[in-house]
Amino acid sequence: MNRSRSEAFFARAQKLMPGGVNSPVRNFGRVGGHPVFMARGKGAKVYDADGNEYIDYLGSWGPLILGHSHPAVVDALKGACELGTSFGTPTEAELKLAELVKEAYPSIDLVRMVNSGTEATMSALRVARGYTGRNLVIKFEAGYHGHGDSFLIQAGSGAATFGIPDSPGVPADLAKLTINLPYNDREAVRQTLSERGDDIACVIIEPVAGNMGMIPPVAGFLETIREETEKRGIILIFDEVITGFRVAFGGAQERFGIQADMTCLGKIIGGGLPVGAYGGRREIMETIAPLGAVYQAGTLSGNPLAMTAGYETVKQLKEPGVYDRLEQLGARLGDGLRAAADEAGVAAYMTRVGSMMCTFFTNQDVTSYDTASSSDADVYSKYFWNMLDRGVYLAPSRLETGFVSLAHTEEDIDRTIEAARESLKEIC
Ligand code: KE4
């Protein structure tokens, strides 16, 4: 495939931005080569600067559950733009999205809109510390909650991909307040909370891990965390920036039947525009300024364009059968990729929850970062490029998650499976 315009753009970009990108995972550092510069998207397809078409399984890292340029979202945004892009005042648009969030999440009495998932988790952590008066936070190895200082300790996503789990610039005195436990290790949770529970403000978790590749919770794992935190007045924060409105309308809390004390959202609720949100029980959220003393603010929080795109996106997800369709498409793709790997004789462990999924090239079962990180990165890189050259865009790292949208068709899925059969055979 000719990607010469992307290559030229990347040469230009490297003179302008660190690594030529505005976010590390975009620069193909772990799969080699130069990133592909996209020019437009429509439905399940994206088109790069050279005009090449790809079936898109990145979906902008999760937000585009409706696919690219959904007519309802585009039309609503056009109308909103003509009314003004930002006022720095409350608007009705934020009320409409907040009401949908509350409808989907019974655990959320009050919600605060912010501008990214990072802002949501940073703010939720401050609130948990302010509400409990405690300082320790528990996260999970290779759990990724954005780039807030307290989370860049054995973080996932780009931090794990680039092997910089403990980022320079994070003061040691702050880092020691973060405790990492292995994902899916119930005993580690029980033991740590039993030993240090009185000093722990919160446990923050991706209820389905999406930043160490995609790893579902083993039976009883989330339930154990819920029970052990409840006993000790520890705030349980579900980071649903990926899973929110993805694995069910009410996210992982609906899918697994567990209510968190606080929830962080992002991605889908912005419909592709910059957004984040955090919410929770009234008594916790009322500690936030201007009601309470915990401070958090933002010039563009509740931005009417982001609220409009998010509202139109989430509204579509209320339609009957949406999550059955996502499950149907996800199962078709997952089963097909499984068969392709078996046919090619490639060792692969596949995970899927609804329309989010991942392929680890390993003969081990993957239940935590240890086994995820031992999967074969070189095989993944070859697979990534073979698929890209066949018009299929996957996440440029084995420690990320793939997404199917409502815009994908059975034909797209079958073309993808055929590309995988050829790509995997080429590797062996
Ligand atoms: P943002 O600040 O990137 O909007 O959200 C941070 C975040 C928080 N929580 C979870 C579970 C997340 O997955 C993320 C961001 N996800 C990454 C991809 N794994 C975003 C892509 C990027 O960093 O460029």
155, 165 in Cβ contact below 8 A?
A: yes
Q: Is 400 in the pocket of ligand 1 (CB under 6 A)?
A: yes
Residue 161: what pLDDT? 66
Residue of 54, 131, 261, 267 marked catalytic: 267
Residue 242: what pLDDT? 98
Identify the burial level of 223 via C-beta atoms within 10 angstroms of its C-beta, where 0-12 means exposed, 13-18 middle and 19 or more buried.
middle
Q: Which residues pair with 277 in a beta bridge?
A: 113, 265
Query: In angstroms, what is the span from residue 428 Cα to ligand 1's centroid?
Result: 33
* 267 counts as catalytic: yes
Give the CA-trace dihedral at 350, 354, 355, 356, to 10 degrees.
-50
Question: For a substitution probing ligand 1, which of 23, 61, 262 has the most ligand atoms within 8 Å of its CB?
Answer: 61
**Would you tell me how many other CB atoms lie within 10 Å of the CB of residue 42?**
14
Domain end (from 317, 347, 364): 317
Q: What pTM does this model have?
A: 0.98
CATH number of the CATH domain containing 217: 3.40.640.10
Residue 89: what pLDDT? 98
292 plus 164 within the same structural domain:
yes
220 plus 334 within the same structural domain:
no
- Which residue in 63, 19, 6, 11 sits closest to 272, CA to CA? 63
Whole-number Å distance between alpha carbons of 153 and 173: 12
- Site of tokens 């690219």: 68
**Alpha carbon separation from 100 to 94, 195, 360 (Å, rounded):** 10, 39, 35
Q: How wide is the angle at C-alpha 322 spanned by C-alphas 321 and 323, nearest 5°?
A: 95
Residue 158: what pLDDT? 82
Whole-number Å distance between alpha carbons of 368 and 364: 11
Render pLDDT for 278-288 as a digit per residue (tens, 0 to 9).
999 999 999 99
Write phi, then psi, for 175 (nearest 5 degrees).
Answer: -60, -30
39 plus 115 within the same structural domain:
no
CATH number of the CATH domain containing 413: 3.90.1150.10
Residue 157: what pLDDT? 86
Q: Which residues pair with 265 in a beta bridge?
A: 277
Whole-number Å distance between alpha carbons of 209 and 183: 8
Query: In angstroms, what is the span from residue 118 Cα to ligand 1's centroid?
Result: 7
**Alpha carbon separation from 412 to 85, 156, 379 (Å, rounded):** 36, 30, 24
Question: For a substitution probing ligand 1, which of 157, 206, 243 has the most ligand atoms within 8 Å of its CB?
Answer: 157
181 plus 227 within the same structural domain:
yes
- Identify the DSSP state of 28: -
**Would you tell me how many other CB atoms lie within 10 Å of the CB of residue 411?**
10
Tokens of 230: 């409840």
Domain end (from 251, 283, 317): 317
- Which residue in 426, 413, 377, 407 sits closest to 68, CA to CA? 407
114 plus 27 within the same structural domain:
no
Q: Is 144 in the pocket of ligand 1 (CB under 6 A)?
A: yes
Number of domains in the chain: 2
153, 140 in Cβ contact below 8 A?
A: no
377 plus 312 within the same structural domain:
no
**Distance from the first to the final alpha carbon of the chain:** 22
**Would you tell me how many other CB atoms lie within 10 Å of the CB of residue 60?**
15
* 323 counts as catalytic: no
- Which residue in 173, 104, 83, 92 sits closest to 135, CA to CA? 173
Render pLDDT for 352-411 as a digit per residue (tens, 0 to 9).
999 999 999 999 999 999 999 999 999 999 999 999 999 999 999 999 999 999 999 999
286 plus 379 within the same structural domain:
no
Residue 162: what pLDDT? 64
Domain that holds residue 249: 71-317
Q: Is 381 in the pocket of ligand 1 (CB under 6 A)?
A: no
Whole-number Å distance between alpha carbons of 66 and 69: 8
Residue 296: what pLDDT? 98
* 414 counts as catalytic: no
Residues of the chain with pLDDT under 70: 161-165
253 plus 375 within the same structural domain:
no
